[in-house]
Amino acid sequence: MPSSTSPATFYHWDAHRPVLLLRNLAAEEGDRRFQKVRRRALAPVIERLAAYHREIKTFGAARADLVETCARLLLQTLIGRTA
């Protein structure tokens, strides 16, 4: 999955960084409106991670490695880090 991340994803984040950072900050501070918006925005990412997990599992990867990789990618997405 890391290699399939679209350049458009990075462009979108960079183009809207201030708004996305504000959304994340408000969500982290407990504003349910922003939590809902962030959850909706991340749903496709979470779905893709689940698909990646199922796909790579067929190659015999260890569960711990899969969980670590997916958790790292999700965390980076949640906190808005693209690099």
Q: Cα–Cα distance between 49 and 26 in angstroms, integer?
A: 25
Tell me the pLDDT tens digit for each residue of 23-63: 989 999 999 999 999 889 888 878 887 887 788 777 777 77
Per this entry, what is the length of the chain?
83
Q: State the total domains in the chain.
A: 1
- Domain extent, residue 74, equals 2-79
Give the C-alpha separation, 19 to 44, whole Å.
Answer: 19
- Are the beta carbons of 56 and 66 closer than 8 angstroms? yes
CB neighbours of residue 52 within 10 Å:
17
pTM over 0.85: no
pLDDT for position 9: 67
- Provide the sign of the torsion angle of the four alpha carbons 9, 10, 15, 18, taken in this order: positive
pLDDT confidence of residue 6: 62
DSSP single-letter state for residue 83: -
